[in-house]
Amino acid sequence: SYVLTQPPSVSVAPGKTARITCGGNNIGSKSVHWYQQKPGQAPVLVIYYDSDRPSGIPERFSGSNSGNTATLTISRVEAGDEADYYCQVWDSSSDHAVFGGGTQLTVL
Amino acid sequence: QITLKESGPTLVKPTQTLTLTCTFSGFSLSTSGVGVGWIRQPPGKALEWLALIYWDDDKRYSPSLKSRLTITKDTSKNQVVLTMTNMDPVDTATYYCAHRHPGDPFFDYWGQGTLVTVSS
């Protein structure tokens, strides 16, 4: 089964740039989707197909995917961005969804 | 406007079968490409995908839980039902249902989730 690896935590000062990685074998050949989850709330889709943003998601959120690493980048981080972030792919070989272990973003 | 809401027991005993219902609005599960999935999250832990049912009744299950899961749909009621057999305390989690964007491999709308505790 396909495995996605995320760092457990990332810390960033307000106004700076946060980068959250998602590692997987040749993940660059897959489409990666990212979700934001605040405490006590359901996940919210923030990036789909590596770098597309749903309506309502600020332009500060962007994504990239190449080789063995996909990256969610949050520019000009705000206190309200503090949350857990999960990457997700669809494993076509077994035809099911796979989530990463999640990364807790802390705004210092 | 798409909404989903999970319902079911908050407490089940070990070895019992869990039945959860996802009631949705704003879309039809008879529309080509549409899917509804179930994802769970143990307290303080990561999301885990469980199952998905498509508009054409095709179904997909997590390989590690496949033997315990059944997903069905009632298009007329706008509901998707997930059953999980032989519940164990490790199955204690918040269970979410989510709308899979038509033809796309991501979930764009999620229910609020329902916490299920497995304990005797």
Nearest to A12 by CA among A60, A77, A61: A77
Closest partner CB to A1 (pick from B52, B63, B106): B63
Q: Which amino acid is at A103?
A: T
Task: Select from B5, B36, B38, B47 the residue whose CB has the most chain A CBs within 10 Å, as the one to mutate to test that interface.
Answer: B47
Give the pLDDT mean for B59-87: 96
| Contact state of A44 with B110 under an 8 Å Cβ cutoff | yes
Could you identify the residue written with the tokens 């027991």? B9
Question: A6-64 pLDDT, tens per residue?
Answer: 999 999 999 999 999 999 999 999 999 999 999 999 999 999 999 999 999 999 999 99
Please give, rounded to a whole number of angstroms, the shortest distance from the CA of A94 to a CA of chain B.
8
Token pair, residue A67, equals 């080789």
Could you identify the residue written with the tokens 């998707």? B80
pLDDT value, residue B8: 96
Phi, psi of A90 (to 5 degrees): -105, 120
- Cβ neighbours of residue A100 closer than 8 Å, sequence gap 6 or more: A4, A5, A6, A22, A86, A87, A88, B46
